[in-house]
């Protein structure tokens, strides 16, 4: 079984094993659970995803509007989403708008990437990466966690 938080209405959806999460729709609002794009979240929404997502990793990009490398990474992160979903759900957190959530993660420099599995941060890195590097880093971290 896997469990996902709807990005449109925040409902928690349980999916039976064998069902393709990439094609699944929310049981409450009918929106697709994955849209092939990163999702901007608030600190509270991030907590809901961490608490309720199972069977799919969360890849979080912490950014800020004044950060040049963050802007440069935005299209790269979006391209990575198309290659990583539904193995991972890509989220974005604005550290200026959500300073407490960023501080709770121990963010020191941005852009910062956090890979979260079953609610726990299993890998982190910081600095500008292209889409290929983001995908490779995520696959490597998930493989290391599974080993």
Interface residues with Zn ion (CB under 5 A)? Answer: 6, 8-9, 11, 26, 28-29
Q: Find the shortest distance in angstroms from Cβ 35 to Zn ion.
A: 12
Q: In terms of CB distance, is 29 or 136 closer to Zn ion?
A: 29
Active site residue 67: yes
Q: In terms of CB distance, is 3 or 133 closer to Zn ion?
A: 3
Residue 121 half-sphere exposure toward CB, CA atoms < 13 A: 14
Nearest to 78, CA basis, from 99, 98, 66, 63:
63
Q: Say how far apart CA 12 and CA 35 lie, in whole Å.
A: 16
Nearest to 97, CA basis, from 60, 37, 44, 39:
44
Q: In terms of CB distance, is 13 or 94 closer to Zn ion?
A: 13
Q: Find the shortest distance in angstroms from Cβ 127 to Zn ion.
A: 34
Catalytic positions = 67, 70
């Amino acid at each position: 079984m896997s469990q996902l938080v709807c990005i449109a209405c925040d409902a928690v959806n349980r999916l039976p094993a064998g069902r393709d999460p990439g094609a699944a729709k929310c049981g409450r609002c009918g929106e697709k659970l994955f849209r092939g794009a990163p999702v901007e979240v608030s600190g509270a929404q991030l907590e809901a995803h961490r608490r309720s997502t199972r069977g799919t990793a969360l890849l979080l990009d912490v950014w800020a509007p004044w950060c040049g490398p963050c802007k440069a990474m935005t299209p790269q992160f979006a391209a990575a989403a198309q290659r990583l979903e539904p193995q991972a759900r890509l989220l974005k957190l604005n550290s200026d708008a959500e300073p407490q959530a960023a501080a709770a993660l121990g963010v020191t420099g941005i852009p910062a990437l956090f890979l979260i599995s079953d609610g726990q941060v299993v890998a982190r890195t910081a600095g500008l990466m292209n889409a290929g590097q983001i995908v490779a880093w995520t696959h490597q971290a998930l493989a290391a966690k599974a080993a």
